[in-house]
Structure 1
Amino acid sequence: MDDFGEWVRDAFALGAGPLARVVGGRGADGDIWHLRVGEREYAVKRPFRAVDADVVHREAELLEYLAAHGVEVPTHVMTADGRLVVEVPDALGGGNARVSRWVAGTSVTDQTSEVAEPLGALLARLHRAAPVTQDPPRAWYTTMVPTDEWTELIERSVGQPWHGALLAREGDLTAYAEVVDRAGPGTGPFVRGHCDLHPDNALAAPDGSLRALDWEDCGPLDPTRELAKTLVQWHVLGEDVDDTAIARTVAAYRKEGGPGMLAGTTDFAMVLCSETNFLAHQIRLALDGDAAGERREQAHGEITEALEDYLPSLSALDRVLDAAQLP
């Protein structure tokens, strides 16, 4: 890490001072380091896949916009010549690197009930501050994998440790598709927002409020559908629905002026699409003999976790809808 850290310091002109990697980790999309240069702290990301510089620029513009409107977000660091993404030398492993300012806080992944109110307040702040857009949400959030592709993935999974669990969820996948078909892509109004605000992408600040991290998937969204997605990803685990936490999150969201309002099962289209598209992507990765072994192993874990915890039945979604209907 010392050589890579020095390269990052030079490439992104991070300045002088003692250099240290504080902590590192691996996400679903790439490796992440917490880098300290003197008293300054940065997040350094090395994505697994090639990065579209235009997409990163749009992300950076959104974060600068939100920061200018009083939302604390991890704004990007540019190189001296204005680049946000830089190719890493082959001698240091190749690929690309990008840097953002570090946002301090503590993990809330295992405290989703305890932070129900701060979660609602955060989402309301993001939705209120977000710029309006005429662009529709991406297909990842509005379209499911076709039935014939699921059939193929199930067949290709024969003999894999997740095959039985995947086969058992085939009925739920069909039910999801019916909901998504009824929902359609949505008609707006749309805003530019986070799109992936699950518990691993948030931190508790010292004052108890929450901060949103990992904005790589940001883009156009329907606030109501993101509210529904957030409630499911934070307060539903398999068939276990935390009704009280849902009500508290929605109450805080409304108190802070959040514009989303759940009205029916079709409001869950965004989470149904994103969770199933992610699952399909991980299955393809796990079955890809050309993929690196450690990435395939990580995909195995993601598949098991998704099938066990992240694909609620429609009856569980009905409970979420009921809990979200405050007086």
Structure 2
Amino acid sequence: MDAVDIARRFALGGATRLSDGPVARGKQGVVWRLETTDGSWAVKVLFDRSGEDEVRLATGFQEAACTAGVPAPQVRRTTQGRVLATVEGRHVRVYEWVDLSAPDSCLDPALVGAVVAAIHQVSVTDLGGLIDPWYHEPVGADRWDQLVEQLLAAGAPFAGRLADLREELVALESWIEQPQLLRNCHRDLWADNVLPTADGGVCVIDWDNSGPADPSQELGCVLFEFARDDPGRTRALTNAYEQAGGPARV
């Protein structure tokens, strides 16, 4: 990639060094580290091309969260105020660089609860329309059966295990409830995206999928990820969430 061009487009200062290759990889792209005279930057190269309209709401929510004090990387826009730039035929976007440690589902539950409460109190005016059915509609018994058949036919090594879990998965889906009170949420608060920092805090990354959701359901996901079957961690997380003003209850 052209480090000088990226630095110029996003007004990052003079480019001094670009990592030899991607330093991180996610579902939507790879991240390179760019050093400039003004600091360190995370340059995300997207796998698929996107438009400004597609990233506008999620980016605005991340920027609002940062303004509200949520620990998250600051978005860096281009000199024209755009989120995306086309570099060598690929869409890229830039964030401030944050040194992060490996995912850890045993993070301090009180710290996690307070951060999630802060996210759920970020005020934005545009919820972005209806929730994608992917977030709240069950897969359904027929589709699970089709998927198992397709995987068995393809020789997938996990096909047998999935087939054994079919009944349990269908039963679990009967518990799915429709979202009630909608507000903007992160919608991807797993340990991969709530990462420890060197100073003992956390940083919330990958806001690309944020959008309307029921904060109570998101809090339930957070409890599953960071508390599991530990009653003490569950109490610590929910108490911290409520004390920090979080609106959801489970």
Confirm or deny a common fold (TM above 0.5). Answer: yes
Q: 1:176 aligns with which of 153, 167, 172?
A: 172
Cα distance, 1:102 vs structure 2: 2.2
Q: Distance in 1 between matches of 2:207 and 2:10?
A: 20
Query: Following TM superposition, by how much is the alpha carbon of 1:132 offset from its aligned partner in structure 2, in angstroms?
Result: 6.2
Cα displacement string for residues 213-246 of structure 1 (whole angstroms, at most 9, x for unaligned residues): 110001012111110011112333xxxx333322
Mapped partners of 2:41, 2:73: distance in 1: 9
Which residue of 1 is the match for residue 148 of structure 2? Answer: 154
**Which residue of structure 2 lines up, in the alignment, with residue 245 of structure 1?**
233
Which deviates the most, 134-143 or 146-155? 134-143
Please name the residue that 1:213 is paired with.
205
* CA drift at 1:141: 1.3
* Cα distance in structure 2, aligned partners of 1:103 and 1:59: 19
Whole-angstrom distance in 1 between the partners of 2:109 and 2:243 = 13
Residue 103 (structure 1) aligned to one of 98, 109, 132: 98
**Alignment CA distance shift 1:168-1:52 (3 Å):** farther
What are the within-5 Å matches in structure 2 for residues 1-327 of structure 1? 3-21=1-19, 24-89=23-88, 94-107=89-102, 109-110=103-104, 112-131=105-124, 135-158=129-152, 159-180=155-176, 183-184=177-178, 186-188=179-181, 190-236=182-228, 241-262=229-250
Indicate the percent of aligned positions where both proteins have the same amino acid: 28
Q: TM-score, normalised by structure 1?
A: 0.68
More helix per residue: 1
CA contact under 8 A between 1:117 and 1:248: conserved in structure 2?
yes
Whole-Å separation in 1 of the counterparts to 2:189 and 2:123: 14
Normalising by structure 2, we get a TM-score of 0.87
Separation in structure 2 between the aligned mates of residue 131 and residue 220 of structure 1, nearest angstrom: 11
Partner Cα distance (1:20, 1:49) in 2: 22
TM superposition shift of 1:39: 4.3
The Cα of 1:177 is off from its aligned counterpart by: 2.4
Deviation, 1:133, is: 5.6
CA RMSD between the two structures: 2.2
List runs of 5+ in structure 2 lacking aligned partners: none
1:59/1:114 Cα in 2 relative to 1: closer, same or farther (>3 Å)? closer
Asked whether the equivalents of residues 5 and 21 of structure 1 are also in contact (C-alpha less than 8 Å), the reply is no
Residues 19 and 38 of structure 1 are in contact (CA less than 8 Å); yes or no, is this contact kept in structure 2? no
Residues 5 and 35, structure 1, Cα contact 8 Å, conserved in 2: yes
Larger RCO: 1 or 2 (CA < 8 Å, sep 6+): 2
Q: Number of residues paired by the alignment?
A: 246
* Cα distance change of structure 1 residues 244 and 61 upon mapping to structure 2, 3 Å threshold: same
Task: State whether residues 136 and 221 of structure 1, in contact with CA within 8 Å, keep that contact through their aligned partners in structure 2.
Answer: no
- 1:18 match: secondary structure: strand
Task: Return closer, same or farther for 1:64/1:21 CA change in 2, 3 Å cut-off.
Answer: same
**Counterpart of 2:162 in structure 1: which amino acid?**
L
Q: Report the AA paired with residue 41 of structure 2.
A: Y
Tell whether the 8 Å contact from 1:204 to 1:211 is kept in structure 2 after alignment: yes
